[in-house]
Amino acid sequence: DAGVIQSPRHEVTEMGQEVTLRCKPISGHNSLFWYRQTMMRGLELLIYFNNNVPIDDSGMPEDRFSAKMPNASFSTLKIQPSEPRDSAVYFCASSFTSGRVYEQYFGPGTRLTVT
């Protein structure tokens, strides 16, 4: 298995532009997580999907952020409009969940820089 796949690996954009991050979870996993990591705030959970349904999005910073999971093999995290404070590494992770969340497998991350 190729593991969790994220694209792009690096993204540099200007303030005000729309940014779309993509994630392909591991086949057979039924949960997907989006995290954001910065030096100041550490690793933060943004949103958690279970069976393609958003379970809790209380970690999403504000309305500029949105996430979708149209099917079991694809998810997107969109920022519109982007701001410099959104600069961070964004990780996608997937796991199999049944009664509890088992080990999460993280992707390589997308390093986003907003200028």
Residues that bind other proteins (CB under 8 A): 4, 33, 35, 42-45, 48, 50, 55-56, 58-59, 91, 93, 97-109
Q: How far is the CB of 109 from other proteins (least distance, A)?
A: 6
Question: In angstroms, what is the minimal distance from the CB of 72 to other proteins?
Answer: 17
Which two structure tokens, joined as six digits, stand for 90?
A: 């964004």
- On whether the CB atoms of residues 14 and 73 are closer than 8 A, the answer is no
Beta strand segments in 25-86, E: 31-38, 42-50, 53-56, 65-71, 74-79
Least separation in angstroms between residue 101's CB and other proteins is 4
